[in-house]
Amino acid sequence: MKSGPSIIGECCENLRTHRLPLRLLLFSALLTLTSCSVIETSFSAIKTGYRVVKKTVKGTIWVVRGTYQFTKATTKLAYQIGKFTFEVVRAPLEYPLMRDDIEAIDGLPVKEAIRLGRVKSAPYTVKGRHYVPMTLARAQTYEETGLASWYGEETRRQPGGHMTANGELFNPRALTAAHKYLPLPIHVQVTNLENGKSIIVRVNDRGPFPSDHNPDSGKRIIDLSRGAAEQLGFAEQGVAKVRVETIQLEEA
């Protein structure tokens, strides 16, 4: 553990360099000085308000409890971000894609790219059009306002399961989303600007893309699951104007 003078020196340096609020610097020093058990209690207390520290970076920092990234040995994940619970399952490779019009990812057949883990920010092709996702660094400051829609409810009436573009099992009741350019997976906060409701979703699929019967559908900025659309209050109307912004995560 660093000594008190060292911490104070770092705080002063941060103040000169970044002009952070003094209360934030003191809070950071206090967390460093306290024991592990006290830090856990502090996170628990802050967690009741869900947001930890606002605007220390572009987007909001949220406490996450549990593991939210797959490893080679895992096939299921369960974790919480604030009041939102996420249960993620790796889909069998033989399951059909939610977006079966994705032709290639990173220059490979889609299932091969998923098997090799070459999806996160890899370029991909849909109906002959080439899409290039943003880098993870660029995604950290992403914020956009536009139309949201929802998709995938029909999978509940079909046998078997369906796979998202990064190999996860699609669940229309879960809090997930599809995005054309964000890395997969990533978490974003979506706010319905028509009623003020806001949720966090795990982006794990690609889309929305222009459809043959509605070319303007490709102008929508995000496609949500039915469960996410219900929580945002626009499942019946089908589309809503939303703000989408990437959030930062901290382990509790």
Look at residue 17 in the predicted model and tell me its pLDDT: 45
**Confidence (pLDDT) at 179:** 98
> How confident is residue 103, by pLDDT bands cut at 50, 70 and 90?
very high
How is domain 85-251 classified at the CATH fold level?
Barwin-like endoglucanases (2.40.40)
* pLDDT per residue as tens digits for the range 21-52: 444 333 444 334 333 322 222 222 222 223 33
* DSSP state letters, 97-130: BSSTTEEEETTB-HHHHHHHT--TT--EEETTEE
Prediction pTM value? 0.76
Mean pLDDT for all residues in the chain: 81
Q: For the chain, which residues make up each domain, given as ranges?
A: 1-33, 85-251
- Find the DSSP H helices in 179-235: 226-232
Radius of gyration of the chain (CA): 20
Three-state secondary structure call for residue 230: helix
Between 51 and 139, name the one with better pLDDT: 139
| pLDDT at residue 10, rounded to an integer | 46
CB count in 10 Å sphere of residue 228: 25
Cα–Cα–Cα angle for 110, 108, 184, nearest 5°? 55
> Is the pLDDT reported for residue 58 higher than 70?
no
pLDDT of 55 above 70: no
